[in-house]
Amino acid sequence: MKDRVFYFGQDRLSIADAIALIDGSLKGELSKQARKKILKSFNVVKNIAASDKAVYGVNTGFGVLCRTVIEPSKRQKLQYNLLKSHSFGVGSLVDKRIAKLMLILKVHSLSMGYSGVSLETIERIIWHINNDCIPIVPMKGSVGASGDLVPLAHLFLPLIGLGFVEFNGKKMEADKALKQAGLKPLILHPKEGLALINGTQFISSWAVWGLYRFKNLLEHADITAAITIEALKGSIRPFDERLHKLRPFKGNLYVAKKIYSLLEDSEIVRSHINCNKVQDPYSLRCVPQVHGACWDAFLHLKEKLLIEINSVTDNPVVFDEETVLSGGNFHGEPVGMAIDYASLAAVELGNIIDRRCNLLLAGDDELPKMLLEEVGINSGFMISEYVTAALASENKTMAFPATADTIPTSLGQEDHVSMASIAAVKFNRILDNLTDIVAIEFLLAFQGFGFRRPLVSTEPIEKVIAIISDVVEFAREDRIFSYDVEKLRKLIESSRIVKSIEGYYPNQLSQTFQL
């Protein structure tokens, strides 16, 4: 079977396709149709550049300097100077996967044929993607409007032989990497520098990567909740579909159906069906409402990102020689607000997991306090509560929406900016902490589940328990539990657990939540 190819500028890019392009399991190419559109747009800009018509970024300065007309002999240097002067980034370096995704998203946008960039330039960016020659990009400097100017300037310095790349496993100067590959730096044409750095690809790349991670964590959080319910002998009645059809939020229905499917045939559930408990605490009983709301936030961000990564976000936009429109498609607000919403959901998911961890530690008539039979000499899992509290609290400090802030730039010409770039990076920092919180619930739920033996749960839950058993052991005395958390973190990031049981809860809604 022939490998599937993604055609930049023509095919509709999904989140799953974007991730596949990063890891190389999907290859990107230009179709004949895209090539024609690119050439047509490029020729329009070339003709404008040869005329006396003033067009922003083609024969004028940038930002507050937009009224400064550049004489013809200096217009090529204008584009070079733009890349150099705007490479003003600071801070730690962007993850290589994010930098590669920035290249992918930029190529897709430019290939739609509204940016006036040459075919040669677009093909060179595709060469960087396919040959894993990835630019080194500093993290900080974008305000999420006027495009992600600073990180994108660093991203495209290597096209003109400047800056640094990671190539063949080594960090090196871009010109040396090009020489190794038998390539020369490009000559930039009118508007190309501006088209390269004007756009939302820094914001979108971090958001796409975050959405991918968030889905994985949501899936694992639903599973850990199910194991915790088993460990605490919680009721599955709050997950009855009839209840949720009376308040049919998509996320609620999805989570309730999933957890009910995972637990309904469990021996553990049957063992306490006639117990004298009336209602479980909210962190068990309201999992569909809280996890479901987080899934709905995921859906909202997914919807916005699918529009964004299939859009033209630079400025000005080239339609024809008579119509070159200056606008604000580079402004990050539409996705920035959705990212902030998803960040809030990630924070809240950590909050409810922290409370379930507390329930597991508190003990009951069958579960021992701190989840060890002999405490006193052993502290058991006591300190896990401190760690989840610290992580959840740190996440709360990052819950303030970045898009609620703005500081005017370019001496007031750009007087409202989105700060969506900050929102996107912050979202991933929250997810870093959330991953550890989910890992800790897995550890505690697994330990609590062990006290329910010899009863068995359902086939999918027992599969999950077996996978966790491959990584950590049931604890009978104190040990260095941080090692267990690290192992479980890696297990979560591998998605092995989710993949092992994804066929056990068929649901008409599940397709809605796919990437």
Residue 48's pLDDT is 84
Residue 150's pLDDT is 97
Residue 59's pLDDT is 72
- What is the Cα–Cα distance from 315 to 153, expressed in whole angstroms? 15
Q: Which amino acid is at 349?
A: L
For the chain, list the domains and their CATH numbers.
5-199 (1.10.275.10), 205-407+422-507 (1.20.200.10)
- What is the Cα–Cα distance from 107 to 501, expressed in whole angstroms? 36
Residue 1's pLDDT is 45
Residue 412's pLDDT is 80
- What is the Cα–Cα distance from 293 to 115, expressed in whole angstroms? 39
Residue 147's pLDDT is 86
Residue 62's pLDDT is 65
Angle, helices 119-130 vs 32-49, to 10°: value is: 130
What pairs with residue 7 in β-bridges?
Answer: 29
- What is the Cα–Cα distance from 161 to 173, expressed in whole angstroms? 8
User: Between the CA of residue 461 and those of 48, 418, 465, 501, what are the distances in Å?
Assistant: 65, 44, 6, 8
User: Mind giving me the DSSP string for 206-272?
Assistant: HHHHHHHHHHHHHHHHHHHHHHHHHHTT--SGGG-HHHHTTS--HHHHHHHHHHHHHHTT-HHHHHT
Identify the CA nearest to 420 among candidates 313, 318, 514. Answer: 313
Contacts of the segment 97-100: beta carbons below 8 A, 24+ positions apart = 97/22, 97/209, 98/205, 98/206, 98/209, 99/134, 99/135, 99/136, 99/137, 99/155, 99/205, 100/22, 100/129, 100/132, 100/134
**Taking the alpha carbons of 343, 349, 355, 360 in that order, is the dihedral positive or negative?**
negative
pLDDT by 10s per residue, the chain, length 515:
467 899 999 999 999 999 999 999 999 999 999 999 999 999 999 888 887 777 776 777 666 566 677 777 777 788 889 899 999 999 999 999 999 999 999 999 999 999 999 999 999 999 999 999 999 999 999 999 988 999 999 999 999 999 999 999 999 999 999 999 999 999 999 889 999 999 999 999 999 999 999 999 999 999 999 999 999 999 999 999 999 999 999 999 999 999 999 999 999 999 988 777 779 999 999 999 999 999 999 999 999 999 999 999 998 899 988 888 889 999 999 999 999 999 999 999 999 999 999 999 998 768 999 999 999 999 999 999 999 999 999 999 999 999 999 999 888 888 899 999 999 999 999 999 999 999 999 999 999 999 999 999 999 999 999 999 999 999 999 999 999 999 999 999 999 999 999 888 766 678 889 99
- What is the Cα–Cα distance from 394 to 354, expressed in whole angstroms? 13
Token pair of 146, please? Answer: 């006027």
Identify the CA nearest to 391 among candidates 444, 438, 448. Answer: 438
pTM of the model: 0.96
Catalytic residues: 56, 86, 198, 282, 285, 330, 414
Report the SS3 class of residue 148: coil
Identify the CA nearest to 421 among candidates 180, 45, 145. Answer: 145
